[in-house]
Homo-oligomer: A and B are copies of this chain.
Amino acid sequence: MKIKVINPNTTASMTAMIAASARASVAPGTHVDAVNPTSGPESIESHYDEALAAIGVLREIEAGEVEGYDGYVIACFGDPGLLAAREVARGPVVGIAEASMRTAGYLGRKFTVVTTLARTVGRTWDIAVQYGVAEACSGIRACEIPVVELERDPTAYASIRDVAQTALVSDGADVIVLGCAGMSDLCTRLQTELQVPVIDGVAAATTQVEALVRMGLRTATRGEFAAPPAKLRS
């Protein structure tokens, strides 16, 4: 089985880290490639960034169909381009936000998302509603570290841990969801220190794609997710 994990931003170091997280949880025999678009924003922290990034994601899906992948992961917590990608890909496409937030439902009563900038909180609530997990979401809290600083800022781990700790105490959360693919390398350490389940969306989405492929399940092509109507695109 070949899975293509798409980092929607153009930061190659983040793509490498995402690759590692995805590969760490797959079964023997599952091959994972991680890529990023060559053009687009270096990180995704606004609706504007997300609109630009969606184009890059779709180009990678289109290429992936030629390359012969069985399924795809969109590795940015806003799941940019997800529904459009489902129209284009033959195999399943899973976003890291939907996968991590649905996975939380198997593990506890309430999860809080720890995200980067507060300005993305509204968008995250929107998709939480869309995915049916808003009732289970006890909070979306920002650490106010920009995406590209996550790997550079030596205080990042401590900041994220402190925000998560606050969520456990103040929100009544019993599960933590990491709200950025760039946090996936911190997952194990956080889980060990916090002693609650901490979910990395990259692993959650990649194992979900694996499961869907193994069950022979693909996106419905009856209606909304059929291939987009062919038309003039100038």
A225: chain B residues within 8 A (beta carbon): 108-109, 174
A sample of 18 more A-B contacts (CB under 8 A), given A103-B217, A108-B223, A109-B225, is: A10-B234, A25-B211, A39-B234, A40-B233, A41-B233, A45-B229, A46-B228, A47-B224, A51-B58, A109-B122, A119-B224, A131-B132, A146-B229, A168-B222, A174-B223, A175-B220, A195-B221, A196-B220
The 5 closest A-B pairs by CB, nearest first: A27-B27, A108-B220, A132-B132, A207-B211, A46-B228
Is A204 at the interface (CB under 8 A from chain B)?
Answer: yes
Is A102 at the interface (CB under 8 A from chain B)?
Answer: yes
Q: Which of B132, B218, B233 contacts A136 (CB 8 A)?
A: B132
Q: Which residue of B lies closest to A111 (CB)?
A: B220
Q: Which of B107, B122, B219 contacts A107 (CB 8 A)?
A: B219
Q: Mark A27-50, 1 if CB is under 8 A from B, else 0.
A: 111100000001111110111111
Q: A103-B212, A233-B41 are in contact. Are A119 and B226 (CB under 8 A)?
A: yes
Number of interface residues of A (CB under 8 A): 97
Is A83 at the interface (CB under 8 A from chain B)?
Answer: yes
**Are the CB atoms of A87 and B27 closer together than 8 Å?**
no
**Are the CB atoms of A232 and B42 closer together than 8 Å?**
yes
A103: chain B residues within 8 A (beta carbon): 211-212, 217
Q: Which of B84, B204, B214 contacts A25 (CB 8 A)?
A: B214
CA distance A126 to B35 in the complex (A): 30
CA distance A142 to B106 in the complex (A): 25
Tell me the A residues contacting B by CB distance below 8 Å. Answer: 10, 25-30, 38-43, 45-52, 54-55, 58, 81, 83-84, 86-88, 92, 94, 98-99, 102-103, 105-110, 117-123, 126, 129-136, 146, 148, 168, 172, 174-175, 188, 191, 195-197, 199-200, 203-204, 207-208, 210-212, 214-226, 228-229, 231-234
Q: Which of B168, B174, B228 contacts A49 (CB 8 A)?
A: B228
CA distance A136 to B232 in the complex (A): 33
**Are the CB atoms of A132 and B130 closer together than 8 Å?**
no
